Structure 1
Amino acid sequence: MLLLALVGACQPSGPSGPPPAGKAEVGTITLQPTSVPRTMELPGRIIALATAEIRPQVNGIVRKIAFKEGRVVKAGDVLYELEDAKFKAAYAAAAAAVKKAEAATAGAQTAFDRYSKLGESNAVAAQTVDDSRSTLLQAEASEEAARADLETARINLENATIRAPIDGLIGVSSVSVGALVTENQTAALATIRQIDPINVDLVDSSANLLRIREDVDSGRLGQDLGKPPAVRLTLENGKAYAETGVVSLAEPVVSETTGTFTLRATFPNSQRILLPGMFVQASVDLGTLNNAFLVPQRAVTRGDDGVATIYVVSAANKAETKRITTAGTSGNNWIVTDGASPGDRLIVDGFQKVSAGADVVPVEATIDEDGVVDQDLKAESGK
C-alpha cells in the first residue's frame, strides 16, 4: 500500500492530464496584424541596353580590321578600313568639277554685270541681258550640283573607314581581311552591345497587376511614389546578384495572346556578370503591405473551389472556419489581407482531426523558421 501511494504521488495531475473526452487537443498561435514587405517574384531575361549591328555603307575590299574581338570599343573608334583608292579618286574628280563650275559661274557673272550696265543705256538689246541672266543661273545651278557631288564623294571616302556608332562590347567579326563587302548588306560585319548598365525584361500577368493596383488604391500597400521600385536578381546558379536595380519601364500594353505585360529593370554591370540572353529570377520591391497577417502555410487549406480557409478557436473553444484572401508569401507564411482578425487563435496543428463546430482544447504553440510546430502542453491543456 505504501508503494502504491508513492507511485500515485509521482504521477502528474491537474493541467497536464489528458483532454476531456470528446475534445481534440489542437496547437494554436495568436494572430496580430503587422506590416509585411511586399515583393513580386518574376522570371526575367537579360537584354543589352543598346545593340548596333555594323554594316558597310559602300562597296569595297576589307584592308584592315582595327579592333580586337570581345573587347570594349568607344563610339568613333575605327573598326574596319576598306580599300579607298577609288573613293579618293572620285573625291578629287568631284573637287575639280567644283572648281570648273566656279569658273563658269564667275564668267557668267561678269558677262551678266557687263550686259546689265550696257542695257541701262540701251547699248544692247534687252534679250541679250535676259540671255546673260539665264546663263548665270544655269552656271550657279551647275556649281551647286558639283558641290553636291563633292559632298557625296567625301561621304563615300569617309564611309570607307567604318567606325563604332556606340560604346559597348564588340563581338566576333564575320569577315576577314580581303573580304568583299557590299553597301547595306544583310549580314552584319560585327555587333556591338552596351551591357553596363544592362536591362532585364520581366513578365507578369495582368491579373496580378490589377491586384497590386487594388492594394495601392485601398491604402494597404504603402509605397514611395517618387522612387522607382527596387529589384534584386537571383542568377541561374542560385546565387544572388550583388547589385540592386530599379524598374525603368512598364510596357503600357497587355499581350493579346498571353495576357501578360512587361516590366524592364536596369542594373549596373561593371563586372560583366550579366550577359544578354541569360535567364534570371527577379524580386521586385513593391513597398510595405500594412495591416496584414502572416499565416503559416501549414495552417491553410484549399477546397475544390480553390478558396483558402483556416481553422480558428472561438471564445467557446470551438473550431471555426474562415475564408481568407492571400497576397503572396513571406518565408513559410501566407500573407493574408482579408478574412483574419486581430486576436484570432489560429489552429496550426491538429486541425486535420477536427471539423467546424467541434469542441477543442487549445494549446499554445510556436512555429520555427522551417514551419515545425513546438507546443507547450502545460500551457492550456486544462482549459
Structure 2
Amino acid sequence: MIAPLRTLALTCAVAVALAACKQPEQQTPPPPEVGVIDAKPQTLPLQRELVGRLSPYRSSDVRARVPGVLLKRVYQEGSEVKQGQTLFLIDPAPLRAELNASEAQLASARATYANAKVAADRARSLAPQAYVSKADLDNAESTERTAQAAVKQAEAAVSSSRISLGYAEVTAPISGVAGKQQVTEGALVGQGDTTLLTTVDQLDPLYVNFSLSVDELSQLRAAQAKGALALSGDGKATVQVKLADGSTYGEDGTLDFSSTTVDPTTGAVSLRALLPNPDRILLPGAFVSFQATLGERNNAYLVPQPALLRDATGGYLMVVGADGKVIRRNVRTEGAQGGNWLVTDGLQPGDKVVVAGTQKVKEGAPATAKPWTPDQAAAGGQAPAAAGDAKAAPAPQEQAPADQAAPASDSTKQ
C-alpha cells in the first residue's frame, strides 16, 4: 500500500515540476505600418544641370586698313557704339595727296583720249576718199582705244584712292560695346599689317556654349526613337541660367546649334544656346551654371528620395503588393527633380511605393500600407512607421537611402 502511494506522489511532483517549467507562448508581432504613395506615370520635363561659358553673339576686330599716324580716339571706351560710327581718326594728309595725284592722272588720261578720238574721227572721215591709207586709219583707231583704256585705269586709281581716304575714319563694323583702345594716339598703324585698334562685341543676345557626353546624347536620341522622349511644345530645348546669388536669370535661352562631330579630346558634343541679355547683366567669357530642358519624358514617375534604396546590384524600391506583402522593384533613375527621383523604368502604374518605414520591411514579409504625404515629412511625422524609423537601428549597408549612397545624377537599371 505504501508503494502505490509513493508512485502517486512522485507522479504528482513530476507534473507540478513540468507545469512550473512550461513558458507561455510568444505572440506574433503585427505587420509594420509604412507610409506609401501610389505610382502614377507622368509626362515630365527632361532637365539637366550643366555648366557653360558665355560668348558674344558677334565679335568684330576693328583694325587700321591704311597706313598712317593715329590722330584721335573718338569713342568712349566700354560704351555702346552703332554700326558705322567713327571710332578713330588716322592722319588723312598723305591719303588726300594720293587722291589728288590720281585725279590729275585721270585728267591727263581724259585729255589724251580726247586728242586720240579727234585724230581717229578725222581718219575715219577721210578714209572713204582714200585721203589716208589703211595703215594710218588703223594706227589712229588703235591710239584711241589705248587712250580710252588709260582713262578707265585712271578712274579705277581715283576710286581706290578715294576708298583709302575713307579708311582714314575708322568706323564700327557692327553695333555693340567697344572695348579698350589697343594703340595710343601718335602711333604709326597699318604699316605692313592691319593693326588691331579695338574690339566691338554685341552683348544682346549672348551665346551659351556647353557640351554633352556622346553617351548621354546617344541615350537621349534612343529614348526619343522609342517614344519615351519628345521635344517640348515649341520643338526647342530651353536653358535657365543661375546667377551667382543663386537666383534664376529672368530670360530663358533656346538651343540653336548642335555639333555633328565628337571632340576626340573630351568625347563630348558641343552645343550652343541663344540667351537674351537686354540689360547687359551677363558678360561674355564668364562661366554659368544652368538648367537645360531638353524635352519631355513620357511615362515617368516621381518618387520621393527616401524611397530609393541601393545595394550592390543597383537601385530599387520596396512596394506593398495587393496581397499586403512587400515586393522589390529594380528601377532606373534619370536624376532628381525638386527633391524627387525621376524613375523611368521598373515601376508599374498603381504600385504602392514605400516611402516611410523602408528599414522595417523585408521582401516577402507583410506590411500595412498607410498614405504618405510630403506634409507629413515636413512635420517630422512621415507616417506611423516614420517614428519607429528614427528609433530603429541603422539600416544595413545594402539598404542605405539613395541620397546618401549615390549622387542624384546616377542612373541604374537591373
**Matching residue of 1:332:** 339
Answer yes or no: is 1:345 the counterpart of 2:352. yes
Is 1:198 the equivalent of 2:206?
A: yes
Task: Select 1:147's aligned residue among 144, 155, 158.
Answer: 155
Q: One-letter code of the match for 1:112?
A: A
CA–CA distance in structure 2, aligned partners of residues 254 and 106 of structure 1: 67
What CA distance in whole angstroms lies between the structure 1 residues aligned with 2:191 and 2:317?
70
**How high is the TM-score relative to the length of structure 1?**
0.85
Q: Which residue of 1 aligns with 2:271?
A: 263
Which is further off, 242-251 or 41-50?
242-251
Q: 2: distance between equivalents of 1:50 and 1:312?
A: 55
Task: Specify the SS of the correspondent of 2:240.
Answer: strand
SS at structure 2 position matched to 1:242: strand
Separation (CA, whole Å) in 1 of partners of 2:167 and 2:284: 29
1:219 — aligned with what?
Answer: 227
Partner secondary structure for residue 87 of structure 2: strand
SS of the counterpart of 2:165? Answer: helix
Task: Please name the residue that 1:60 is paired with.
Answer: 68
Q: Aligned Cα RMSD in Å?
A: 2.5
- Helix, strand or coil: the match of 1:207? helix
Q: Distance in 1 between matches of 2:274 and 2:191?
A: 35
Confirm or deny: 8 A CA contact 2:232 2:296 kept in the other structure. Answer: no
90, 93, 112: which is aligned to 2:98?
90
Secondary structure (helix, strand or coil) at the match of 1:55 reads: strand
Are the equivalent residues in 1 in contact too, given 2:32–2:360 (CA < 8 A)?
A: yes
* Mean CA deviation greater in 256-265 or 125-134: 256-265
The alignment's TM-score, normalised by the length of structure 2, stands at 0.79
2:49–2:292 contact (8 Å) kept in structure 1: yes
- Residue identity over aligned pairs, in percent, reads 35
With 106-115 and 249-258 compared, the bigger mean Cα shift is at: 249-258
Does the aligned pair in 2 maintain the 1:56–1:183 contact within 8 Å? no
Q: 2:38 aligns with which of 26, 30, 35?
A: 30
Determine helix, strand or coil for the equivalent of 1:79. Answer: strand
Bigger Cα displacement from structure 2, 223-232 vs 72-81? 223-232
Shift of 1:227: 4.2
Unaligned runs of 5+ in 1: 1-18, 379-383
SS state of the match for residue 118, structure 2?
helix
Please point out which of 40, 51, 54 is paired with 1:43: 51
Question: Structure 1 residue 298: deviation in Å?
Answer: 2.2
Q: Secondary structure at the match of 2:271?
A: strand
Superposition pairs for residues 111-260 of structure 1, below 5 Å?
111-183=119-191, 185=193, 188-224=196-232, 226-260=234-268
In 2, the alpha carbon distance for the partners of 1:187 and 1:111 equals: 51
- State whether residues 206 and 259 of structure 1, in contact with CA within 8 Å, keep that contact through their aligned partners in structure 2: yes
Which of 284, 298, 322 lines up with 1:315 in the alignment?
Answer: 322
Name the structure 2 match of 1:277. 285
Matched, 1:374 2:382: yes
Task: Give 1:154 deviation, angstroms.
Answer: 0.9
Count residues in correspondence. Answer: 359
CA distance in 2 between partners of 1:279 and 1:184 (Å): 38
- Of residues 359-368 and 316-325 in structure 1, the stretch that sits farther from structure 2 once superposed is 359-368
Higher RCO (CA 8 Å, separation ≥ 6 residues) = 1
Distance (whole Å) between structure 2 residues aligned to residue 371 and residue 281 of structure 1: 32
- Aligned-partner Cα distance in 1 for 2:123–2:69: 54
CA shift at 1:315, angstroms?
2.9
> Taking structure 1 as reference, are residues 344 and 184 closer, same or farther at Cα in structure 2, changes over 3 Å only?
farther
Alignment check: 8 A CA contact 1:299 1:310 kept: yes
Cα offset, 1:97, TM superposition: 0.3
Tell me which amino acid in the other structure corresponds to 2:151.
E
Alignment-mate amino acid for residue 290 of structure 1: N
Cα shift at 1:377: 5.6
Are residues 354 and 103 of structure 1, via their aligned partners in 2, closer, same or farther at CA, if it must alter by over 3 Å? same
